[in-house]
Amino acid sequence: MKCKKVLSLVVLFGFTLSILSYAPKVTDLLANSEHLYAKIKIFTSVLETIQRSYIEEKESDELLEDALKGVISNLDPHTVFLPADDFKSWNQSFEGYTGIGISFEILRGVVTVMSVMKSSPAEEAGIFAGDKITQINGTSSLGLTKEEAAEQFNGSLGQPVSLTIKSKRWAAPKKIQLIRERILLNSIPYSMMIRPGVGYIAINRFTSTTSRELEDALETLERKGMRSLILDLRGNSGGYLNAAVEVTDKFIPGGNSIVSTRGRLSSSFQEFYSTDEGTHKLRPLIILIDHGSASASEIVAGAIQDLDRGLIAGKTTFGKGLVQSQYRFHDGSALLITTAKYYTPSGRPIQRDFAGKSKDDYYREPYLENSQTQTESSHAKPFKTRLGRIVYGAGGIKPDVQIDTKNNVLSHQVRALYFSEERYFYLFAEILAKKYPHLKRNQTNFINNFIITDRIYYDFAQFIKANNPAFHHATLNTPKNREDAKFLIKRDLAYLLWGNDARFKVNMKRDRQLNVALKHFHEANTLLSMTNF
């Protein structure tokens, strides 16, 4: 019975390939090539033999998923087959999910709210970061894994979820009933005035809602007197191409090329131009990028740089200039397949060379201190911006202003402590918030003047030791590690007291890229004055 299932799945696999190809030549091959069918027959026999004779029993679905991954393993690094669960998880970042709108961690066995989405059922019910969820649908949440708790929070649209919440705001736990809604993850975590006249907007992904979120953010900052803007795309690994086009369109007058795509099929040849409808008043613009800025982020940065619309600052981007198309299947799995390359307005490609590299080496390469991208190579092909400045292709976007961030990098020991499941920094910040309630009175004073003293730092080390006997104080006892640990304690404390914006303001104090970029607005203004749109 299993052998017949394997054979039928293999035939379906071959049929799926013919559909995906959209090329008559491939369809002809599937229909007529005896060689191809001979290979498929061998493939079927291999699967059948594995199921019958291998030392461990293997499910046919599992074997075929591995086979699918093998088919694409020698293609480019960004073509990938995602099983149903993996695709669902990946897709949530761009299309959302059905739930109550919280992020949470399991701290000391208790489900603890870490953040609450704006306009979500959780926010409307009055749930805040730091609240403890002791029961879900009348059953104790103690001892649940993160995956088990998530399954209960998320589910069918419109269905109720009953929670018992313990909060420092209430004398006794409260029972709250929420109705699950469609939750769209915000792509703009921060939007604020960081100096008089200087606006700041961070975009962390490009989704179907990014353009609308950006429009709201720009209008708000303009009402507050924004005269120049920093658009932060650091760590933004991409998203929808259309969203990148819509974001760029807000900063460029109509009729200018933003990006073009070219591939093997005629349908992949597209040119995207700016419009006048969404364009805001032209102001000096600086875009922050780093090695984690990729794909859609590089479309935005590349267009702004090629058209001399703004200044690009930071570090060279990742170098992903390939367009993936989604093919979804009835079982919930999906194929993300590269169908085109994209090119900036000057005609330069962005994709970094991946030939002869393992996937691990390819993804690691941009972050190596001594690596040299094609963009930085003397062999890179030059292109010209609108004003005639020289830029290079095939290796990401090289910034106009290079800004080093070595001093901001956390050591391995501090990073391991901060991101450990025990969440030592957050839990210790809870202790400090309870111990020093007066801190909440003045956010500005806290950000500018509050210091994590050596005594507080010593208490922190003792706190970790009490919860982890294997911890050695020497781990944090170098000057750099002490400084980093104190900074992270203060940052988590700011988040507990006031939320995301306060955490950002603490972070900004030692954000070298951002602070150096702020000194270059005269160059951004010069570019704007020279460009004739």
Catalytic residues, by residue number, are: 295, 306, 320
- Tally helices (H) and strands (E) across the chain: 19, 21
Q: Which residues contact residue 515 at a Cβ distance below 8 angstroms, ignoring those fewer than 6 apart?
A: 508
| CA within 13 Å, CB half, 422 | 13
Angle between helices 479-498 and 424-435 (to 10 degrees): 60
Q: Which residues contact residue 506 at a Cβ distance below 8 angstroms, ignoring those fewer than 6 apart?
A: 447, 487, 490, 491, 494
Tokens (6 digits) for 475: 């781990």
**Dist. CA 526–CA 521, nearest whole Å:** 8
DSSP codes joined into one string, 307-370:
TT-SEEEES------EEEEEEE-TTS-EEEEEEEEEE-TTS-B-PPP-TT--HHHHHHGGG-TT
**Dist. CA 207–CA 188, nearest whole Å:** 10
Centre a 10 Å sphere on the Cβ of residue 432 and count the other Cβ atoms it contains. 19
**Dist. CA 451–CA 456, nearest whole Å:** 9
Question: Tokens 């900036």 appear where?
Answer: 344
